[in-house]
Chains A and B, each alone.
Chain A
């Protein structure tokens, strides 16, 4: 900004001659503003070819947003997480008033962005992502958004200031004053570089808010794009959403930020994460992590925040889970205040829990593992956990009024008074039912630590 003003002033001097102006003469404000206007116009004109208007048609709704061209071959960043494109979702992209059908390349469900691709005849102009960390509070910025179909795809522009940057959320954000919030809106500096964008990963759930909300900075966007593009080039075939859901990176422990007062009382570091539980036979257990350990550093980066929320966000940001990613923890092992350990581990794909769909009865069950015990707050490990009661099945028909006899989170511990310890027992029992075809079967459920019997009439409901 200062550079611009200096340029303006030098220009004025050059034009008016080298003699110093008489002391009583003030700088021409209108000329400064005109110059500023020109810079703004130039920046906006520069970005316009790189902004698109996109419409996402889902099963029940249509939403619209601004997108950015990120590569000349037609890749576009959209501020939404797409998972069902081509199935129940359809994305239309409008660039320079031409309509294109987009296909999904990759998507990130943390930052809530997607890379889509359109087929164009000519090369496109990609955005220029700047370095947001070089910005200053008080700096002029421009907000740009594509007005869409209703506005003949005209560009809408706001001018404002940077209020400041924040790193206490999952993604670093910049806050501005004067810029309207719109899905996918980009924030430019006066030299035309994109330094932030309005994305859902900013933590806003409602784009329509007019109070200053966080804009995700370009550095975070660039990091995410690099990961996504690297992934897409190594994947030979498209991975289904269901498969993506199953591929969850996992280490096998539960944690929470240490309570500040507890830390003060015990003399333990306040900037640490307390390990609540460690799953048996998990990678992290084999690599040495124990319950009550205090994590101080992740990948040699010390935890620096104090306070539950900030510490939690920082830790999440640092662990950055990804299957096969190696991770290093520096931990303190109480009760000694000076016993440190370095734990090296690697994320694996979260072990799948075996599930079985028993159509005969009408329940979908899963095995109960140590992980299930913690995640679903169960009190017993023997039995099978009900994940779903199939509508219209005998199990769903075994109810009275509005109360259901079997519910999600019930544990089946007996069938016909035979103990069900695990999913194999359950499968054997179902096979026996198929052979013997009884009219009624008797289940014993565990609800918390007590039990209840349910008799299911296999002729009831539709199979």
Chain B
């Protein structure tokens, strides 16, 4: 169920105020004001609360740091589970293919300055919650979690965290509003005037007892305006992360619902319920019996009513967090059409019994990054995503067949073909594209065959565009031999394989996969069949090699056959590319290579220094025909691949 387009409506009425009533009110106000005026004792009491609270929670609040940012978090279990915001540990890189990419090296700094490396158990960007785990040396002090259903606007609250990197900062204020849904978040959030600044993210919002009632998440809209996620939402997400490693949402696809405000209630002639704005014809829930214009009056025997956006947000949340596969019963009131326009409308009642399904990954919209992965071919300047039901409705697309273009870089093959963002690619090389898997299969088939022109059919709004994609094939230029690359893989958890593979086929290179076993696993748990083992490589007729990194890179950088191949390349003007720890193979193959400028993954830098290599620490280092990279993230590897391509192109044939 979706309620993204719900708007409240206000009935404008006015009441006359009698004169005597006004005088009485005035007198009451005088009495009340005397009874709540603060004494010095009260002020001292408030100071004490703050000080006591700080002392209580300080051991439980941490600073979280990684290569791209900083935030706060709080310990929720003695064995080291920590809650923070999803955006604190996410790279939030709008340029990334995977919006769920998280920082690689997350460090948790305790109040006593002890540092631990953290592992991400699960995270979500909306609700903006993450669960980390550290392995502490001793039992930790866990913070108390309160109940956000018991709070009221006006309650005094405290925010604790590391604003601007200033660790262990306590600020105070009140809860200004507890029903904020204006931010467009999945759940309603608390608004507070306790100062919340960058660095506070992930830190606790506490009540006077020192219990967490929220997590500081959004700020910067103005002075005295900050927002926190309710602790009860955090509790739910924590359980999901532990059980599933992610937030597994339930849904009844495909429909949109909204609250029944005063005007809608009057128009439909029904007092309470939830209005179904739209049900897709033939969808799961439509087949179960739900129709556009129905009003849900009960869920599982309980009457439901949503008069405001906050109320519908709560109902949506309660449905979303139920277990996927749970049965659900809806009681529907279906208005008899035409409506009479009076209060006494007539309805038919229906019962729908169905089951909750798992929700689709969230779509990127507005400032939300969503969860859909992009399939990108950098050397075509093209990126696409699958079209889910919500994609179709948010982006007002005519249907769901094909893939949606999310990237068409200027001066690329994609822009040359006049491909535009929001286009839907419905056919490649005269093959229909129904799903992103079809797209990948057909585009890569065309690229592997080095088709000069790849015919595409695009749906743009209401008309069809036929065009042709002309890849540049930089490593297979016309009238010149195609570049041949040997790709050496460690057998376990080979990293960045997809990137390298797509790079090679888009550029028209011929490549062979080599390892010391017949099958290797990638970091994404995909099993790849290799073409040749290291030992079988007896002659070398390639233009270069790429040494990939992975879990067992240490075995690999000492492998005698790998070293033999690398040594040959060093002595025969071949391009050598090495990612991460694989750079050590260069030094091991030929100690004389220690004069070459090299880089490697940070965790292996000490090894390189021990071998007296000319370690530069740069993200990508080129020295002659040797190109090395830390392999830190996708962006770094792409820069590496472009440098590798330049070196290869520069090699004389």
Residues on A facing B (Cβ under 8 Å)? 254, 256, 259-262, 264-266, 276-277, 291-292, 308, 373-374, 377-379, 397-401, 403-405, 416-418, 436, 438-442, 444, 447-453, 455-457, 459-460
Contact = CB atoms under 8 A, between A and B. Distances in A.
B618 to A, nearest CB: 38
A261 B463 contact: no
B453 A261 contact: yes
B335 to A, nearest CB: 7
B463 A440 contact: no
B462 A277 contact: yes
A448 B462 CA distance: 12
Nearest to B280: A450
B468 A418 contact: no
Contact of A448 (B258, B292, B339, B397): B397
Nearest to B264: A455
Given A379-B396, A448-B396, A457-B11, A400 B309 contact: yes
B263 interface: yes
B277 A379 contact: no
A373 B461 CA distance: 9
Nearest to A266: B468
User: Looking at chain B's contact residues, is the secondary structure mostly helix, strand, loop, or mixed?
Assistant: loop
B152 interface: no
Contact of B8 (A400, A440, A442): A400
B306 to A, nearest CB: 14
A379 B467 contact: no
Given A455-B264, A456-B263, A450 B453 contact: no
10 contacts: A259-B418, A259-B468, A261-B416, A262-B455, A377-B461, A378-B462, A397-B12, A398-B9, A417-B338, A444-B293
A417 B347 CA distance: 14
Given A400-B309, A405-B7, A450-B278, A436 B341 contact: yes
B337 interface: yes
Contact of B341 (A262, A276, A416): A416
A452 B256 contact: yes
Contact of A403 (B7, B341, B462, B470): B7
How many interface residues does chain B have, given as a range? 35 or more
A373 B463 CA distance: 10
B455 to A, nearest CB: 7
B290 to A, nearest CB: 14
A404 B470 CA distance: 44
B463 A453 contact: no
B604 interface: no
Contact of B396 (A292, A439, A447, A453): A447
Nearest to A438: B341
A374 B11 CA distance: 38
B277 A453 contact: yes
Contact of B468 (A265, A457, A459): A265
Contacts of B467: 259, 261-262
A264 B417 CA distance: 12
Interface in B1-54: 5, 7-12
A436 B342 CA distance: 11
B584 to A, nearest CB: 45
Interface in B443-464: 452-453, 455, 461-463
Interface of B: 5, 7-12, 182, 256, 258, 261, 263-264, 266-268, 275, 277-278, 280, 292-293, 309, 335, 337-339, 341, 392-393, 395-398, 416-418, 452-453, 455, 461-463, 465-470
Given A450-B393, A453-B277, A261 B465 contact: no
B468 A460 contact: no
Most buried by A among B7, B258, B293: B7
Contacts of A440: 263, 266-267, 341
A373 B462 contact: yes
A379 B398 contact: yes
Contact of A399 (B7, B335, B395, B455): B7
Contacts of B278: 450-452
B48 to A, nearest CB: 40
Contact of A441 (B267, B292, B395, B465): B267
Nearest to B5: A452
A54 B266 CA distance: 62
B587 to A, nearest CB: 46
B337 A453 contact: no
A328 B268 CA distance: 57
A102 to B, nearest CB: 45
B468 A276 contact: no
Contacts of A460: 11-12
Contacts of A264: 453, 468
Given A379-B396, A405-B9, A440-B341, 16 more contacts: A262-B453, A262-B466, A378-B462, A399-B7, A400-B9, A401-B182, A417-B293, A436-B341, A440-B266, A448-B392, A448-B393, A449-B392, A450-B280, A452-B278, A455-B9, A455-B264
Nearest to B8: A400
B277 A265 contact: no
Contacts of B292: 451
Given A374-B462, A401-B182, A455 B263 contact: yes
A442 B398 contact: no
Contacts of A276: 463, 465
A455 B397 contact: no
A57 B532 CA distance: 80
A457 B267 CA distance: 9
Contacts of B417: 259, 261-262
Contacts of B335: 417
Contacts of A444: 293
A241 to B, nearest CB: 30
Contacts of A417: 293, 335, 337-339
Contacts of B9: 398-400, 405, 455, 457
A21 to B, nearest CB: 60
B449 to A, nearest CB: 15
Nearest to B261: A455
Residue from A256, A403, A449, A450 having most chain B Cβ neighbours under 10 A: A450
A455 B295 CA distance: 15
Nearest to A378: B462
Contacts of A266: 468
A262 B468 contact: yes
Q: Give the most central of B9, B292, B337, B395: most A CB within 10 Å.
A: B9
Contacts of B261: 455
B263 A457 contact: yes
B396 A449 contact: yes
Contacts of B12: 397, 457, 459-460
Nearest to A265: B453
Q: Lowest 5 CB-CB distances: which A-B pairs, in order? A: A448-B396, A455-B263, A265-B453, A442-B267, A400-B7
Contacts of B309: 400
B398 A449 contact: yes
Most chain B CB neighbours (cut-off 10 Å) among A264, A404, A441, A449? A449
A448 B293 CA distance: 18
